[in-house]
C-alpha cells in the first residue's frame, strides 16, 4: 500500500490552533476546553478547580475529556515533532480528532492502542475507517512449560537424555528429560505432558557436546503436576541422536 | 495415474518418467539434501522432507511439495516462529497431511497448499 503524500497536519480543527498556543502542561484536546489558567496542570486539578472544570465542560464528559486530552497531547507531541511528516490521515467522526498515521510518523492505529469510543472511529493505515475494531487481543493458549527458574547452558560433553513420545508426539523434538522414565503414567505426570502425547515410547537421546540447552523443572500444565527435571534443546540436533524407542509400561 | 516416480539417491531427489525411464529431474531441491520423499496420492507431485540440520539458523520451512518437473509448488507453513522450528517427520493419512515439528507440535496441513489446518502442542 502506497501512502499518497499529503500536506502536514493542517486540519481545520481547533486542535491545530491549540497545539500552537504557547502553554505548558496539560492539553485539553477538545473544542470546549476551559481556559488554561483554570485548568492548570493535570496533577493539580482538585477540589474547587475540578468543580469549575466540570461546570465548564459538563459533568459527565470530564473523565472522557481527560482521557482524550491526554491521548491528544501525546499524539500532538509526536506529530508536532516532525511537522513535515505526512501520512494517512485518520479522521474521527467529529472534527476534533485528527491523527496522522503512516510510515513517516511511525504511528499506526495499532500503536495508538485506544479503544474506539462511542461516536468515534479510528482508521486503519489504508485510510479507511475501521469500524468495530477488536477491543482486546485473544487470550494466549500457550502454557508455561517451566516451574520457577531455568538455566541456559552448553553441554560440556555428550549427555544422555530421554524423550517420551507416542500418539500425537513424534520421536524427535526439542523436549527431553534427564530422568529415565519407568512408566507412562509417571512420565505424563512428571513432565506435564498433554493428552496428545500418549507416552507410549521412550527414546534415549545422545545430546552432542556444545549443544545449547535450557534446564529446569516441568511446570504444572494440562492437568498434570509436573515436577520432573526437564530440558529444552535450544538448537536442532541430528535425527541420529534420537535412539529407537522402547515401550513404556503403563 | 502418475507419469513420474520420485525417489532419493545419495540424499538427492530423483524424478523419473515412468513411461520412458528418462530422468526428468535430479538434484537437491532448494539446495538442501533430502531426508524423505513420498508421492501424493493425486497429481504428479511428491512431498519432500529436507534435512532440518542442513537449513539456515532460524525457522526452516523444510517440508515441500515438488512437481514432476522438479519445481517447488509450496513450502509447508510452520506451527511456530521459534528459531529452531522445522519439520522432523510427516505422513499422509487419507486426505490429510500430518507432520511433527521440532518444537513439539503435531500439525495437520492442507496437502494442496501446505497451509496449516490445525496445530497442537504435544511436547
- In chain A (250 residues long), the average pLDDT of successive 10-residue segments reads 40 38 44 46 45 50 65 57 36 42 45 43 43 68 88 98 97 98 97 97 98 98 97 98 96
Is the distance from CB of A144 to CB of A157 less than 8 angstroms? no
- Continuous H helices in chain B: none
Q: What are phi and psi of A187, to 5 degrees?
A: -65, -40
Q: CA of A67: how far to CAs of A17, A64, A73, A135, B81, in Å?
A: 20, 5, 10, 17, 37
- Chain B residues lying within 8 Å of A233, measured CB to CB: 84
- What is the pTM assigned to this prediction? 0.64
∠ at Cα A88 (A87, A90), nearest 5°?
125
Question: How many CB atoms are located within 10 Å of the residue B77 CB?
Answer: 16
How far does the CA of residue B32 sit from the closest CA of chain A (Å)? 15
pLDDT, mean over chain B: 96
- Helix %, strand %, coil % of chain A (to 5): 25, 25, 50
- Return the domain boundaries, chain A: 14-130, 146-247
Give the pLDDT score at A93.
40
Question: Which residues 123-182 of A are in CB contact (within 8 Å) with B?
Answer: 143, 145, 167-175
Is residue B16's pLDDT more than 90?
A: yes
* Helices A47-57/A62-80 angle, 10° precision: 90
Inter-chain touch B106–A169, beta carbons under 8 Å: yes
**Distance, first Cα to last Cα, chain B:** 39
Q: What does the pLDDT look like over B81-100, one tens digit per residue?
A: 999 999 999 999 988 999 99
Write down the pLDDT at residue A137.
73
CB-CB under 8 Å, A172 with B53 = no
Is pLDDT above 70 for B56?
Answer: yes
Alpha-carbon distance of A172 to B35, in angstroms, equals 14
Neighbouring C-beta atoms of residue A87, cutoff 10 Å: 24
Domain ranges of chain B: 4-121
pLDDT in the model for residue A76? 52
Least CB–CB distance from A236: residue in B53, B100, B122: B53
Separation between Cα atoms, residue B55 and residue B34, nearest integer Å: 11
* CATH assignment, B4-121: 2.40.10.480
Neighbouring-strand partners of residue A27: none
What is the predicted pLDDT for the residue at A134? 63
C-alpha cell at B76: 509447508
The ipTM is: 0.94
Please give the distance of CA A176 from its chain centroid, rounded to a whole number.
29
Give the pLDDT of residue A49: 52
Distance from B56 to chain A by nearest Cα, in Å? 11
What's the pLDDT score for residue B91? 96
- B89 → closest Cβ in A170, A174, A237: A170
Q: Give the span between the Cα atoms of A166 and A199, in whole angstroms.
A: 5
Arithmetic mean of pLDDT, B48-70: 97
Q: Is B47 exposed, middle or buried (0-12, 13-18, 19+ CB in 10 A)?
A: buried
Which positions ≥6 away from A171 have C-beta within 8 Å? A163, A165, A201, A203, A242, A245, B88, B89
Residue A39, beta-bridge partner list? none
Which of A175, A233, A236 lies nearest to residue B123, judging by beta carbons?
A: A175
The nearest CA of chain A is from the CA of B19 a distance in Å of: 36
Q: What does the pLDDT read at residue B95?
A: 87
Q: With 70 as the cut, is the pLDDT of residue B57 above it?
A: yes
Dist. CA A75–CA A29, nearest whole Å: 10
d(CA B48, CA B29): 9
Amino acid at each position: 500500500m502506497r501512502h499518497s503524500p499529503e500536506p502536514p497536519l493542517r486540519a481545520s480543527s481547533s486542535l491545530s490552533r491549540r497545539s500552537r498556543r504557547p502553554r505548558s502542561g496539560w492539553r485539553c484536546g477538545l473544542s470546549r476546553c476551559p481556559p488554561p489558567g483554570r485548568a492548570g496542570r493535570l496533577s493539580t486539578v482538585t477540589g474547587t478547580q475540578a468543580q469549575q472544570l466540570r461546570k465548564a465542560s459538563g459533568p459527565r464528559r470530564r473523565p472522557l475529556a481527560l482521557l482524550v486530552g491526554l491521548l491528544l497531547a501525546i499524539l500532538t507531541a509526536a506529530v508536532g515533532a516532525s511537522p513535515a511528516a505526512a501520512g494517512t490521515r485518520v479522521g474521527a467522526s467529529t472534527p476534533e480528532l485528527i491523527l496522522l498515521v503512516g510510515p513517516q510518523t511511525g504511528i499506526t492505529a495499532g500503536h495508538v492502542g485506544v479503544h474506539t469510543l462511542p461516536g468515534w472511529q479510528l482508521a486503519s493505515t489504508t485510510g479507511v475507517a475501521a469500524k468495530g475494531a477488536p477491543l482486546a487481543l485473544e487470550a494466549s493458549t500457550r502454557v508455561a512449560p517451566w516451574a520457577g527458574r531455568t538455566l541456559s547452558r552448553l553441554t560440556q560433553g555428550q549427555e544422555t537424555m530421554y524423550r517420551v513420545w507416542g500418539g500425537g508426539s513424534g520421536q524427535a523434538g526439542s523436549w527431553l528429560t534427564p530422568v529415565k522414565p519407568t512408566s507412562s503414567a509417571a512420565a505424563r505426570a512428571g513432565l506435564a505432558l498433554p493428552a496428545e502425547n500418549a507416552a507410549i515410547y521412550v527414546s534415549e537421546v545422545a545430546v552432542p557436546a556444545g549443544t545449547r540447552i535450557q534446564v529446569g523443572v516441568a511446570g504444572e500444565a494440562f492437568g498434570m503436576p509436573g515436577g520432573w527435571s526437564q530440558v529444552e534443546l535450544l538448537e536442532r540436533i541430528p535425527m541420529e541422536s534420537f535412539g529407537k524407542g522402547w515401550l513404556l509400561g503403563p | 495415474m502418475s507419469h513420474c516416480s520420485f525417489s532419493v539417491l545419495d540424499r538427492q531427489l530423483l524424478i523419473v518418467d515412468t513411461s520412458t525411464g528418462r530422468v526428468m529431474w535430479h538434484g537437491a531441491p532448494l539446495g538442501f539434501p533430502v531426508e524423505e520423499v513420498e508421492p501424493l496420492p493425486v497429481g504428479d507431485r511428491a512431498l519432500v522432507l529436507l534435512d532440518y540440520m542442513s537449513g539456515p539458523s532460524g525457522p526452516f520451512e523444510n517440508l515441500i511439495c515438488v512437481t514432476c518437473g522438479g519445481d517447488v509448488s509450496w513450502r509447508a507453513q510452520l506451527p511456530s516462529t521459534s528459531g529452531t522450528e522445522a519439520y522432523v517427520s510427516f505422513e499422509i493419512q487419507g486426505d490429510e497431511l500430518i507432520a511433527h515439528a521440532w518444537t513439539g507440535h503435531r500439525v495437520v496441513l492442507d496437502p494442496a497448499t501446505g497451509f496449516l489446518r490445525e496445530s497442537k502442542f504435544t511436547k
